[in-house]
Structure 1
Amino acid sequence: MISRFFVLQIVWAATLAALGLGFFVDRAVWWALLVLAPLSAIGLLDMIQTQHSILRNYPIIGHFRFWIEAIRPEIRQYLIEDDRDPVPFSREQRALVYRRAKNAPDQLPFGTIRDVNAIGYGWISHSMAPLKLSDHDFRIAIGGKACLKPYQASVLNISGTSFGSVSSNAILALNKGARKGGFAHNTGEGSISRYHVKGGGDLIWQIASGYFGCRTKDGRFDPNLFAKAACGDQVKMIEIKLSQGAKPGHGGVLPRAKITAEIARTRLIDRTRDCISPARHPEFSTPLELMAFISKLRDLSGGKPVGFKLCVGHRFEFLALIKAMLESGVTPDFIVIDGGEGGTGAAPVELSNHVGLPLIEGLSFVHNALVGAGLRSEIRLGASGKVVSAFDFCRIHALGADYVMSARGFMFALGCVQARACHTNHCPSGVATQDKGRAQALVVSDKFKRVHTYHRNTLRALAEMLGAAGLKHPSDLKPWHLHIRAATGEVVRGDVAYTHLEPGALLSSDLDPRLKREWDRAQTQSFEPAL
């Protein structure tokens, strides 16, 4: 395999050769140093600078990336876009994150670059009496009636980023950024590493089907190990991962090549094979058993908020969870809805592309189902799935979310360039790799500031949008604030485009026949549909 320093090594070797040949053979060879000497100096500076991990990992040749990005957009399209291999996230959104993370201006001359007549184009209503909000540190209290230690969460937090999937430097930078900005960092299913602890930021400990960090040797849940870690001051909430938008119905995957001795110790696994989580939890198999598991984790954690994350699949299955809540009297403190468009470092492509309800549809359904069951006021709703901009937040808040979990935005803030090499251990930006040399290119002292700055500037932008709409807090957004260009070309409001249930509607006799069929199929003793 060619070294990532191959070009630099060639340049340095050629520089030394030119010096030697010029001294011993012909001084005319020294003319080559006019090119080689500056290139050698550039390569050295690339390796010692701390702002660009791409240049630290790929001295000299890494500059080609920045030169291409500097070319006018209409030329760049022909150079780096390929319809046969579409980029998984818009360059416009990625560029927005980079600008905000670097504290660069995000003003845009010549108006919108979007086609306002395109199907799906959306916007929120502005007010003739706009407000100027002086505070953008929007908070939401998470913790229901059974919670003893509610958490005042930011409306924007870092979604699941597992140690193992991403590097130790990436974890440390994310967590230090969360601490500086006063927001939470979800551990992902890889458990709590020493880099999370060292960062000192608030943690949401994700418990997935592999029970990493709190498992027995045979992979079952260990309550003693869980309680020991969950009661730590840094852990603010516990999240049970039922499914992930990028690969619903499929367990997490960490290739053996990325499993270091430290990762194995953190997860309590061995290194002899790929780490593949079970597709479903072995600790519960019915909706009622899940409610009992939630109650158990809440007790073991000393009363901290406990909830679950899922990508919505069969609607009757979620309605079965609601029935179990009503029957058992146990409710989660929060539910995070992950859209089918969510990202991951490793998943079967068909599963990523064609399984799982998209975020907007899943969020709208869950919000209205909880309203219809009379449970919405007791449960906070989080949302994740390609959410990075202030308008993204406005749209999902309008349709029912209380707060946002974003992994992609914060990964971009770290310097991710979507090389899509996460599973190979050869991530060029040092984010998704366990190769120490590559990971060291990500300089924590620089990148944690960008994580914090992206969070701060995004919430400032959110405050500007809310103020323009005459609102004071994201919770003030309602479906009718949202407008969407429908497939017919006409404009519809969010409360028309998406289902709207009145409080208690699920329990009434005049329920819509289509929803009633799903409600009747739901049962608390099984995730299978009732006949």
Structure 2
Amino acid sequence: MLNARYIPLLCVFLCMPIGLALSSEYKLWGGVILAISLLGSVVGVHDITQKRRAVLKNYPVVARFRYLFERFRPEIRQYLLESDHDEVPYSREQRTLVYRRAKDIEGLRPFGTLKNLQQIGHEWMNHSISPTQIDDGQFRIKVGGSNCSLPYDCSVLNISGMSYGALSPNAIEALNRGAKQGRFAHTTGEGAISKSHQLHGGDLIWQIGSGYFGCRDSAGNFDPQQFKTTAAFDQVKMIELKLSQGAKPGHGGILLAAKVTQSIAETRGVPMGEDCISPAKHSEFDTPIELLEFVGKLRELSGGKPVGIKLCVGHPWEFFAIAKAMQDTGILPDFITVDGSEGGTGAAPVEFADHMGAPLREGLMLVHNSLVGLNIRDEIKIIVSGKLISAFDIARVFALGADACNMARGFMFALGCLQAQACHTGHCPTGVATQDPGRYRALDVEHKYKRVANFHRNTLEALKESVAASGLIHPTQFTPHHLMIRVTSRQVRSAASQYHWLEPGELLSEGTKHPAFAKFWAKSCSSTFSILDQQKTSNVVRFQSNG
């Protein structure tokens, strides 16, 4: 007896004589049926005889639809099934906000909010009965401490690090030209400074990773002279030493030899035909003190430009060790970029993207409290990154201690990114994240740079309105008291009471009630990243709630 699983294949076989019979009188339809049945028969025979996929062998022809639907599932979900608030990772509402601001389209909403304001976790900013009048919404801050001779007047919103190699040359060029137009900074990513970065002269934050691309010798070690030469470029305004990134902290990276183009090889200072490797750790330092000495060395070689570090917070005692090294050496970074684990990347292992590193909120508060507790907060600016899109996202991180923020995927959306999530394939449909000339030529720099500048300008305009409504004149005036959080269906708290905050100089005296500091501060040391108590220590710390 014929198994029902093979009935579709039998039907395909039977269609061949039917198509052949019809073709004599109805050539078009008969030919179509015959062609489809012949193709289906070939596919069916292949499915039965192949050995790789059991489902195809058991369900010839029909199982092909399973793979077809699986292939287009993300697109079907995104365009047909996704609600405005589903975040995968950015919701349609968030993407639309960027698209409208980038296109300079009015972003007003009719009929009221679409959010459930009673939902636990909902957040808002308290407004003032007496709002202020702000004439200039181009909010800026000065980055550069007492050891910095060339401080930088920095916008509070800048482009986060995305390397040439991860992004196409046209995307890099459009981002930098937009930054030039809007008077904000463009972080290079660890892939060095390419020709596309330099064409339009937009301000650069030169990011240096563990591969030392753009300032390395033939063995891959840091080359002081190369660094000094590049750091002297007028376009380079700050230097960012990358320790880790939120999407894959402690992982490192590799650009396969097949993807290393001649242009990438020249930009990074690596040979053609070899894998381009970013190690998981730096070779120039092994201890917190050596890290800060390297920061001081970079600042001296750069001629006194601001030098900072970028990290995703991991073990609390490791950052405490860095903070103690600042205290012991007197060498302070001019800024610290805190990258949340919700940050993006071209490709990361699932376990790292989902479960490694501290989210932005927890990381930011740990760094902010450390600097406040040592009375050095005013010397060091905190820049944050990690899934920020709207003016409220910016206001929220300012309330929690940030001085400025970086966006990566927000500016990618401004370039036309569709969130196809094909960044690692080289087949980006919009030419943003690919090195295929046939694809990135479709990204018109002359058109897209204006959208980059528009998104920046309109986002700061929205931030200006929020600042004014709160009765302030600059976003750095936001405090934890301004941010309100619904913690239960019946209870609301400000961030000031919901989270633990250190008093200025609290760590300089004995004892603190902050749980993370009480547990790990005494066990950290400026001479090592290791915890002093060698016994297995649980790192389950309540960063957030007072209980």
* TM-score, shorter chain, exceeding 0.5: yes
Mapped pair 1:442 → 2:443? yes
Matches within 5 A, 1:293-442: 293-442=294-443
1:480 — aligned with what? Answer: 481
Q: Distance in 1 between matches of 2:284 and 2:489?
A: 47
**Other structure's SS at 1:190 match:** coil
**Other structure's SS at 1:437 match:** helix
Mapped pair 1:270 → 2:276? no
1:462 — aligned with what? Answer: 463
Matches within 5 A, 1:150-165: 150-165=151-166
1:517 — aligned with what? Answer: 519
Equivalent pair of 1:173/1:451 in contact (CA under 8 Å) = yes
CA deviation after TM superposition for structure 1 residue 277, in Å: 0.6
Letter in 2 for 1:521: K
Matches within 5 A, 1:50-199: 79-81=80-82, 87-199=88-200
CA deviation after TM superposition for structure 1 residue 172, in Å: 0.3
Q: Distance in 2 between matches of 1:253 and 1:346?
A: 10
Deviates more, 1:502-511 or 1:217-226: 502-511
Q: Distance in 1 between matches of 2:506 and 2:447?
A: 51
Q: Distance in 2 between matches of 1:347 and 1:212?
A: 20
CA deviation after TM superposition for structure 1 residue 496, in Å: 1.3
Distance 1:86 1:272, change over 3 A: farther
Structure with the bigger RCO (C-alpha within 8 Å, sep 6+) is 1
Equivalent pair of 2:313/2:357 in contact (CA under 8 Å) = yes
* CA displacement, residues 206-252 of structure 1 (integer Å, 9 cap, x when unaligned): 00000001111111100010000001100000000000001001113
1:3 — aligned with what? Answer: none
Letter in 2 for 1:351: F
2:252 — aligned with what? Answer: 251
Letter in 2 for 1:395: R
**Other structure's SS at 1:204 match:** strand
CA deviation after TM superposition for structure 1 residue 509, in Å: 1.4
CA deviation after TM superposition for structure 1 residue 357, in Å: 0.6
**Other structure's SS at 2:401 match:** coil
TM-score by length of 2: 0.81
Matches within 5 A, 1:216-227: 216-227=217-228
1:506 — aligned with what? Answer: 507
Equivalent pair of 1:258/1:433 in contact (CA under 8 Å) = no
Distance 1:274 1:89, change over 3 A: farther
**Other structure's SS at 2:129 match:** coil
Letter in 1 for 2:445: V
**Other structure's SS at 1:424 match:** coil
CA deviation after TM superposition for structure 1 residue 283, in Å: 0.3
CA deviation after TM superposition for structure 1 residue 510, in Å: 2.8
Q: Distance in 2 between matches of 1:256 and 1:423?
A: 14
Q: Distance in 2 between matches of 1:97 and 1:386?
A: 13
Aligned pair count reads 458
Matches within 5 A, 1:201-216: 201-216=202-217
Please report the RMSD computed on the Cα atoms of aligned residues, expressed in angstroms: 1.9
Structure 2 segments unaligned to the other structure (5+ residues): 1-73, 534-547
Q: Distance in 2 between matches of 1:246 and 1:115?
A: 29
**Other structure's SS at 2:424 match:** helix
Q: Distance in 2 between matches of 1:123 and 1:144?
A: 33
Equivalent pair of 1:253/1:346 in contact (CA under 8 Å) = no
Equivalent pair of 1:201/1:234 in contact (CA under 8 Å) = yes
Equivalent pair of 1:121/1:484 in contact (CA under 8 Å) = yes
Structure 1 segments unaligned to the other structure (5+ residues): 1-67, 70-74
* CA displacement, residues 170-191 of structure 1 (integer Å, 9 cap, x when unaligned): 0000000000110000000000
1:228 — aligned with what? Answer: 229
CA deviation after TM superposition for structure 1 residue 512, in Å: 2.1
Q: Distance in 1 between matches of 2:470 and 2:87?
A: 35
Distance 1:324 1:95, change over 3 A: same
* CA displacement, residues 325-381 of structure 1 (integer Å, 9 cap, x when unaligned): 000010000000000000000111110110011101111111111100111010000
* CA displacement, residues 404-443 of structure 1 (integer Å, 9 cap, x when unaligned): 1111111110001111111111000000000001000000
Q: Distance in 2 between matches of 1:176 and 1:227?
A: 25
TM-score by length of 1: 0.84
Larger radius of gyration: 2
Distance 1:86 1:399, change over 3 A: closer
Equivalent pair of 1:359/1:384 in contact (CA under 8 Å) = yes
* CA displacement, residues 37-76 of structure 1 (integer Å, 9 cap, x when unaligned): xxxxxxxxxxxxxxxxxxxxxxxxxxxxxxx99xxxxx98
Distance 1:452 1:77, change over 3 A: closer
Q: Distance in 2 between matches of 1:392 and 1:276?
A: 34
**Identity over aligned pairs, percent:** 58
Mapped pair 1:282 → 2:283? yes
Letter in 2 for 1:112: T
Deviates more, 1:235-244 or 1:106-115: 106-115
Equivalent pair of 1:253/1:347 in contact (CA under 8 Å) = no
**Other structure's SS at 2:199 match:** helix
Q: Distance in 1 between matches of 2:241 and 2:108?
A: 40
CA deviation after TM superposition for structure 1 residue 488, in Å: 5.8
Equivalent pair of 1:430/1:441 in contact (CA under 8 Å) = yes
Letter in 2 for 1:400: G
Q: Distance in 2 between matches of 1:521 and 1:488?
A: 39
Letter in 2 for 1:227: K
Q: Distance in 2 between matches of 1:186 and 1:241?
A: 11
* CA displacement, residues 187-209 of structure 1 (integer Å, 9 cap, x when unaligned): 00000001111121000000000
* CA displacement, residues 252-288 of structure 1 (integer Å, 9 cap, x when unaligned): 3334443211001100113334423100100001000
Deviates more, 1:298-307 or 1:499-508: 499-508
Distance 1:489 1:315, change over 3 A: farther
* CA displacement, residues 67-105 of structure 1 (integer Å, 9 cap, x when unaligned): x99xxxxx987824399x972212211110100000011
